Each structure stands twice: as C-alpha cells, then as structure tokens.
Structure 1
C-alpha cells in the first residue's frame, strides 16, 4: 500500500543506518584505543576480570622494583663488609707478626699503633655504611622487611641487627677444633727436658710425708724438672695412699708404647674450654684444673672403688700435660717442664685463649696479647663471614623473586590482553563492513525519503 502519512521504508533505513553507525563508531573506538573493552557496556564481566588482573600486574611490577631495591641494599652492606674484612685481615697479619719470638716489646708497640688505626677504620666502616640514609652495619636498622609480592603478607625479612663495630665483634669462645696453641716437649731418661724424646711413661705416687705427688719415669728415675708438681693437691677429702712407692697407691700414666709424645696441640672445644691431642692427633686423657688448689694439707680423694683423682694448676702446668692413657677409672695430670721459655709461654696463655676479647680490646704490644688477638680476629672474621653469607643468600633470593615476579607479571599481562585488547584484524573487517553499510544506508534512506514525492505524481 502506498501512503504519505507513514514512510516505513524510511524508518527501516534509518534504523539500519543507526545500527551501522554504532558499529562504525565502535570499530573506530576499538581501533583507536587498541582495546576491545572501553567501557562496562562492552563487557562488564571482562572489565572486572581485567581490572583485577591489572591490580596484580601493578603489584608484581612494584614487587620486582622492591626486590631490586633489596639487592642494592645488600650490595651496599656487602661492599662495606668486604672493606671491613680487609682491615681485620691486616690486624691479624700484624698480630701474627707480633707473636713471633724475634719481635721485641718495642717492635710490638710500633705494630700496635697500626692496629689502633685499623680498629678505628673498622668502626668508621660500621658507622658510615648507609643505604638511603639508613645504616646497615651498626645494628640500628634491625630487621628490614621487603614487600616483594602483590598481596599482603608476601614479604621477606633481612636481619641486620648485628653490629659490626669493633666493640661488638670478636668476643666469645673459639669455634670447636680451632688450634689454640701447639708446642713440642720431650724428656730424657733422667726426667729432664731434652732435645730428643726418651720417656714413654710417667708414674705418679702420693708422698704423705711431703704432702705432694712424686713422679718417676718408666725406669724409676725421678722427674726433677717438674718442680711445679708440688702444687698438686686434692679437691676433696678422702683416704690418701699410705706412702710413696706403695704399689696400691701408684698411678701409672702410660704413653703409647710405640712412640713418645713429642708435640701437644691445644684445641678449642667451642664451649670456652680446650682439649689436648698429640702429634698424631690422638686425644690425650687429661683432666685439667681451672684454678690453683692451695690447700696442701688436704690429701688426694679416693672414691669407693679405690680410684684416686689428682688435679693441677692452670697456665703452663696445664698445657704441659702429656699423658696419653691412664689406668681404668683413674684421672690424673702429669706435668713436665717445657724445654724453653717460648714453649712455657704458650701454657700461660691457654686460659686467655679459651675466651677472646672484642676487636676494640686488641692489644698486640705483648706476645700473649698478640696470640689472643689472632683468636679475636678469627672470631670477628667468622661473624663477618656469617653476615656475608646471609647477605649473599638474601641477594640470590631477591634476584630469584624478581625473576619469578616478572614471569608472573608477563603471564597475567598475556591473559589480560586476551580479554581486553582489540583484535585489529577483526576490528578492521568490522570497520570496512560498517562503512559499506553506512554508505548503503544513506543511499537507501535517500531513496526511501523520496517515495512520498513519487506518490504525489499520481495526483497530477
């Protein structure tokens, strides 16, 4: 039916033209923005998922940056520790030099001057090694937390609470197995110190008339050089042996039948004490006293089994203990005099060597102080090395985290792209289609709008 009040064809053409116009506008928007979803109207669910992913991507990216900051802090601290190690190594070298018997006290005093400067350098490094205004080696930073993940709780901590100042490192006890001292000792067949080994066993017996222990070698010769043995006394009361030479009251201290002990090594036990080994590394069965027992009138203790315990002094007397094996149930110290002053001096420092001072207390102006300084520096270097190991492990962890986070961020970006980004091939085709429809729609709408004019010709 032909009519002039309603132009249905024009309305249809307009509707189609509007649709093609919207499609053209959408294609142009997507192609110009590069995104498939430009508003919630395009894909509400997709937009929500994309936003969540973007949050994670941003967090992971920042986590990578935070990890890299952690690496920078660790590298700063590690560099400071390397410089600190150089100073400690120099101090130990000076202490080793000062420990040499050829050095005079004047020489050691001169070496101490450089030690003082190196200690000051240790303190300078500890107090001035900073990262972003924070000191990383004086212990003031404590435990630093690094947010390396995108979410709450995804962080790691780095403990920097240990101060590396000279007053804070070097103290404590030597690690188990460290050699505190080593010296040679030998006796001739008269019991006197000699250049060649001779005694293979020592017999200790109690002389009630003198209130002291007498010692003889395997040949029955008295050990006359061991004057300090008169200090051996009992720690508790008990029934003493009857007299010197009584077989029931004699304690045999037998050395290895195949070899005489020619060297004694003093090793730290890691608890502030020490153990003794011979030149072959065999443990010496020694109960070393830790103080001088001055009660000479008190006889040695004898337990219910008839076993007698003798105790001795500290210092040089303890370090010259040479027994290898004692009779079953008997614990005794057999002391001999060292063969020279240098060897004897080793013994006087054993008590000091069992514990160590801090680096700030190092004094190598004496031989004993120089020996103690080496242990102090060893303890300090252990502390530095432990912190270096901690920092190295932390740096590797930061690096691994950054690599992992970057990979996760890449995967999420890829997933987000498949949801949000526009497919240019498809959108280009849509644009071409919309343009053709627009052109056709405009042409058809023009023809539809001209239909009423054609109807008017019927009235002519």
Structure 2
C-alpha cells in the first residue's frame, strides 16, 4: 500500500463512521428525552400520518365525552326542576280533593282556589326560568337539540324536553257529546226507534296520535255499534296511537205527567228484559222509581240518581240504555232525554212505546291528537253534523293553568286534568332519566374507544425505552471508539516523516 500524506483514507473512513454513530446517538437521545419514536416527519413519514389521524380521532372522542357529560348535566338540571313541579301538581291535586268535599263553604273554596292560582303561577315561573348555559329548557323551546357525541360530523344524540308550563300540562280529550242532537252515539230521534236507527252508521275511524296512526274499520264499527264497543276498539290500538277512550251512557227520566203506576222493560248490559214497575205518588218525587231501578242494577249495570222530579240514569260502561214497552196508568207519559238533550215522550196504556239512548265516547291522550270518520256527521258519523266525511276533529287540551276548584264540579274536573298532568310530567322525567342513561352508555363506549386508539397510537408513535437505551449505549461506545480510532488515523501520515529522516 503506498504511503501518501495528501489523502488520509483511514481518517476519512473513521470520520464517516463517527458521524454515523453521532447521528444514531442524537436520535436515541432525542427519543429518550421526548418519549416519542417519531419526532419529525423524517423519522417515519407514514407513521407520522397515521399517528396524526389517530390523534385527531382521540381528541374528538375526548371532547365528545365532555359533550355527553354536559348533556347529563343539562338533563339533571331539568329533572331537578321538574321534581319540584311535580310536588306543586301533587299539592294542587290535594287541594282539588279537599275542595270536592261538600263540607267546604263557598268562601273556603275561594281560599283554596287562591292557593291554586299561586301554585300555578309558580309552575309557570319554574318552566320559564329554568335554564342551562343561558338556554331555557322547560318552556317548550328545547326541541330536537343535538349533542355531538362522536369524533366525526353528525354523530349526535337528539334531545327534546316537552313543555312543562301550566298551560301545556293536562289532558287532551274529545267527547262525542260535542255532537249535535241525534248524531253519532246519541238518543234515538223518535219513540219506538230501534238501535240501528240511532243514527250511528257503519264507519271507519282514523286516529292520529303521538305514537302514530291507526284505523278501525267499518267492518268492526257496524251500524248501531255501542259506545262501549267503540271505546274497546280504540283502546285495542292505544299502543299504536297513544289515545285511549272511555264510554259512558247517561239519560234522564223527567216530566212525568201524572202520578200512578209506571212499568217498562229496562236494558243496559243485559240482553234479557228486566222489568221495572213502581207506583209514583208525586211527579215531583221519583224516589220510588229510583229505588226500583237501582234494585236491578246488578243485572242492568244502570244506576239512578236523583230525588226530585227527574232521575239521571247512568250506564258506566257505555252500554245503551233502552226503555221498552213503557206503560203508565191513565195515559200518563214521561220524557226520556239523551246526553245531548234530545227528548222523547214515552208512555201508553198498552206499552207500545220504546226508545234507546246511546252512550258518549271520550277520547283522551297526554298529547295532541286528531280523529276522523269515513261517514259525515249528518249521516250518522261519530263526530257530529258539522264534520264531513274524513274531516278531522282535534282533541282539546284541558290544562292545569285553566283549572278552577272554586266549585265542586270544577274540583272534580280538575282532578282528572291533574292526574293527566302528573302522568305527563312523570313521562318527561322518565325521558330525561333515559337520556341520562343513554349519555352514560355513550361515555363508556367513547372512553373505551379512546383507550384503544391511544394504545394503537402508542405502538406507532411512542419510543421503546429498552431499545432506545440499548441504542444510546451502542452509540456512546461507538462514539468513544470512533474518536480514539480517528485520532490514530490522523496520526498515520506521521510515518512518512520517518522515511524523510532516514
């Protein structure tokens, strides 16, 4: 090998290896000091891109957890306010029960109504002032609000909180007694009329409620259908509509033209005639007739109320009330009046007169609903003469804000409204509880997903301290050795001087 001094190849080689070991040592030091395997794009370009995508997703999931926790906080705020609203409704109902008792004077009921007015105002105040982060949440404006619970766009949970004001809590209802006389399930128009002539024609009824829509066919609601059957069929589809129905038949016996013996066959839930016969001593005192009817209540399901010149007959299940073969001594007569007020005069010496009174159907729901019939009201449809075929009628809201317990009648009506309001408020609270549980499940899932993505990112991005420590030690040894060897390599040209001296 020639001896040269211009080019020291050994030194150059030692320098190159020393630089390489220095770079490896610097990389090891950087990774150990930062804890990251990837500190710049040149460390691992593909790994950097993957870790950045994972970081975006992890950050999004962590924020989504905070969003869901905000949702829980909002629901808890609303539910806490509704708890006090429920206490107020219970107190108003208690006052209504108290007012319904006849031991109260008019002044007592006025005082009770004054407290109801104050409680109703407080109910409205709570609903109008309960806020979360400046947003009202109980006044009906919190509709379909979206909570972002995912790392990507449109991964949301929709939350709606129903109106909890006194003007929105109550019972939606429609009563078939809204019909005009002789329409729908009402009194037969003339003495001797049969049930089929009671003007209820075969018809389909459509119900559109909060849960959906359902139709009861005309094959089910045939001509002459009783109120009880209508209510039963409506209740059979309650799960699809959210609308329930009750049936009740009322009729009035009045205007007896003379004292004497009255007898007739009475039909309610019974299909076999039950004869009623009694002597009325005074047209202004029908106690004997009332007692005779009530003595057969076990068979007919009909009860009679009243002590004066008129009796109210009640069939609480909605069966028709029919009087058949009415016989009165001396040609006396009586009037049979249906729930609408249409009256039929009955009575003869031979018992040829008869008439039937149909019942009233009341539709109820916590939420708004509409009803329609395939038959116009004037032609025997359920919903009155004013309603054309397939024309809808709407349930009317009896709200807590409009209840009055200043009278016994008002107090009794208020109880039903308050029961519905309490049930509605309970349903709102139940929805909020369900939302909180859903958010809780969402948080658990988000945290699990975030944890797994953190692990995936760690495998891509984080430094392996065992490997990097070994690399550091290796780099340090190579640095020391390289430095020593470079010193020796730099001294090699000195051998040429020995030749010059010789």
* TM-score normalised over the length of structure 1: 0.68
Gaps spanning 5+ residues in structure 1: where?
Answer: 182-190, 193-200, 206-215, 230-252, 265-274, 278-282, 300-305, 315-353
Q: How far does residue 77 in structure 1 lie from its aligned partner after superposition?
A: 0.5
Deviation string, structure 1 residues 7-50 (Cα, Å, up to 9, x no partner): 11111101100110000000000001100011111111111111
Match of 1:425 in 2: 466
Match of 2:278 in 1: 221
**8 Å Cα contact 2:173-2:397 kept in structure 1:** yes
SS in 2 for 1:357: strand
Do the aligned partners of residues 150 and 219 (structure 1) sit closer, same or farther apart at CA in structure 2, a change above 3 Å counting? closer
Task: Report whether the alignment pairs 1:168 with 2:202.
Answer: no
Q: Which moved more, 1:286-295 or 1:6-15?
A: 286-295
Task: Report whether the alignment pairs 1:117 with 2:118.
Answer: yes
Do the aligned partners of residues 308 and 25 (structure 1) sit closer, same or farther apart at CA in structure 2, a change above 3 Å counting? farther
Match of 1:363 in 2: 404
Q: How far does residue 145 in structure 1 lie from its aligned partner after superposition?
A: 0.5
Q: How far does residue 172 in structure 1 lie from its aligned partner after superposition?
A: 1.3
Match of 1:406 in 2: 447
Q: How far does residue 219 in structure 1 lie from its aligned partner after superposition?
A: 6.4
Q: How far does residue 223 in structure 1 lie from its aligned partner after superposition?
A: 6.6
Match of 2:46 in 1: 45
Match 1:203 to one of 262, 265, 273: 265
Do the aligned partners of residues 311 and 71 (structure 1) sit closer, same or farther apart at CA in structure 2, a change above 3 Å counting? same
Do the aligned partners of residues 429 and 204 (structure 1) sit closer, same or farther apart at CA in structure 2, a change above 3 Å counting? closer
Match of 1:390 in 2: 431
Provide the C-alpha distance between the structure 2 equivalents of 1:226 and 1:15, rounded to a whole number of angstroms. Answer: 131
Match of 1:440 in 2: 481
Provide the C-alpha distance between the structure 2 equivalents of 1:165 and 1:296, rounded to a whole number of angstroms. Answer: 49
Do the aligned partners of residues 59 and 312 (structure 1) sit closer, same or farther apart at CA in structure 2, a change above 3 Å counting? closer
Match of 1:25 in 2: 26
Match of 1:286 in 2: 320
Match of 1:147 in 2: 148
Provide the C-alpha distance between the structure 2 equivalents of 1:432 and 1:365, rounded to a whole number of angstroms. Answer: 94
Match of 1:345 in 2: none
How large is the RMSD of aligned CA atoms in angstroms?
3.7
Q: How far does residue 284 in structure 1 lie from its aligned partner after superposition?
A: 5.7
Q: Which moved more, 1:401-410 or 1:139-148?
A: 139-148
Match of 1:82 in 2: 83
**8 Å Cα contact 2:62-2:446 kept in structure 1:** yes
Do the aligned partners of residues 117 and 257 (structure 1) sit closer, same or farther apart at CA in structure 2, a change above 3 Å counting? closer
Match of 1:184 in 2: none
**8 Å Cα contact 1:276-1:286 kept in structure 2:** yes
